[in-house]
Structure 1
Amino acid sequence: MPLSTIQILHQDPCFLIVNKPSLLLSVPGRAEDNKDCLITRLQDNGYPEARIVHRLDWETSGILVIARDPDSHRKLSRQFQDRETEKTYHALCWGQPEQDSGHIDLPLRYDPENKPRHIVDHDLGKSAQTFWRVLERHHDHCRIELTPITGRSHQLRVHMLAIGHPLLGDRLYASGPALDACPRLALHAQRLVISHPHSGERLSYLCPTPF
């Protein structure tokens, strides 16, 4: 598959900063028809050394760091595991939150009876925390900034649903007018801060929001 749909935002000998489009897997899926993905496209189009460090959901677009050698992969992966990175997302949510900002602290777990959904579970769920902030208020929705402290699957989507403001166009968690209000999931990884895997320099990268 061509690389044209993946924008290279920055190149370093140790890593790439890329913009993953919506409706593209980060890594290959298990089924044969799910082999097309971001990392495979990179490896097949000039970056055979590319190694995945972290992931975005299939429907989520935005910024990812890709390692280019084993040592950089190990060091970058450790930054994510130790929560030394900073990630900021932009999204559109349905309705009008009463406050302009807030903190969501709700444990999450996978819901095997409703694959691939996740749910809030205070008994069996893993700790999950998200900060949110309203950037713009519109008639029936808001543009918000989301800052996850933890990195659980579907965390931002489930957390916003849990406080009554599902993300627009979310085919897993939204319904009715919230689902119909946007042709795609309105969730984009807009900013990423990492430390250079060798120099240790703190680096910040931005990826413009497409909606």
Structure 2
Amino acid sequence: MSPDELLARVLYRDAMVLIIDKPAGLAVHAGARDGSHHLMDLLEPLRFGLPRNPELAHRLDRDTSGCLVLGRHRKALARLGEIFAGSEAQKTYWAVVVGKPPAESGIIDKRLKKLERRHGWRMVVDDKGQDAVTEYRVLGGNGRLSWIEAKPRTGRTHQIRVHLAAIGCPIVGDSTYGRGTADLVSPHLHLHARSITLPYNPKKSPITAQAPVPAHMIDALIQCGWHNQD
């Protein structure tokens, strides 16, 4: 990604906080899988006059697109850490899933645990795991696919992906928790961090940002009733 392309993805900027529209397929930090580029290699253009690059306030999976929050310096990162640790950030995701949930809206309250394996790991539903709660609402569908709005109340790894799969609605393109959906519809994960609201300063209005729908999700969303009016 060029500096100009990264700058074009800035959704919000002030003296403390940046929110960018992370593209799907870009890891936010270095991983063990390979030596490919990640977001932390690209942040110098986002200094905007400060001596250090901004840093991640939270994370998104490599294949999830949308709103990603960065702190511009240590004071900002400390405050953002409080917000995310206290579940004060209001995060809204859009997903396209195979199937239809058992109700038009509801709450998925299933504990999650990390399962280590010889060739990797995955999250699983387990009564001995950590609390994990996701609120969801069906926004549209075509009988085969459903367009879901998901609001995680907790911030567990892969939470939305595991929770939707657990109610029989795996996310399109999820090769880990939705085997077969890539062959059925698309090889790309259809999970997008659509918007975020941060109560950064109690004396001011919350910070808000909304990320445009990524190109790889447009066709499926239109099939589910979205009118392509971002």
TM-score normalised by L of structure 1? 0.91
Return 5+ residue gaps in structure 2 as ranges.
218-230
Task: Give the distance between the partners of 1:130 and 1:51, measured in 2 at CA.
Answer: 27
Structure 1 pair 86–10 and aligned structure 2 pair: CA distance change class (3 A): same
The answer (yes or no) to whether the contact 1:14–1:197 under 8 Å persists in 2 is no
Equivalent residue, structure 2, for 1:74: 78
Return 5+ residue gaps in structure 1 as ranges.
none
How far did 1:143 drift?
Answer: 0.4
Letter in 1 for 2:127: H
How far did 1:198 drift?
Answer: 8.4
The answer (yes or no) to whether the contact 1:158–1:173 under 8 Å persists in 2 is yes
Is 1:179 the counterpart of 2:182? The answer is yes
Q: Runs of at least 4 residues of structure 1 off by over 6 A?
A: none
Q: What is the aligned counterpart of 2:25 among 23, 36, 43?
A: 23
The answer (yes or no) to whether the contact 2:124–2:162 under 8 Å persists in 1 is yes
What is the aligned residue count?
207
Equivalent residue, structure 1, for 2:228: none
CA RMSD of aligned residues (A): 1.8
The farther-off stretch of 199-208 and 144-153 is: 199-208
Letter in 2 for 1:150: T
Task: Give the distance between the partners of 1:139 and 1:31, measured in 2 at CA.
Answer: 37
Task: Give the distance between the partners of 2:55 and 2:159, measured in 1 at CA.
Answer: 24
Task: Give the distance between the partners of 1:31 and 1:117, measured in 2 at CA.
Answer: 15
The answer (yes or no) to whether the contact 2:83–2:200 under 8 Å persists in 1 is no
Task: Give the distance between the partners of 2:4 and 2:190, measured in 1 at CA.
Answer: 22
Task: Give the distance between the partners of 1:198 and 1:128, measured in 2 at CA.
Answer: 27
Task: Give the distance between the partners of 1:38 and 1:5, measured in 2 at CA.
Answer: 13
The within-5 A match list for 1:29-178 is: 29-30=31-32, 33-34=35-36, 36-43=37-44, 45-47=45-47, 48-113=52-117, 115-123=120-128, 125-176=129-180, 178=181
How far did 1:205 drift?
Answer: 1.1
Provide Cα deviations, 1:35-70, integer angstroms capped at 9, x if missing partner.
x21232113x34242111000001101101111111
How far did 1:179 drift?
Answer: 2.3
How far did 1:200 drift?
Answer: 4.4
| Secondary structure, aligned partner of 1:71 | helix
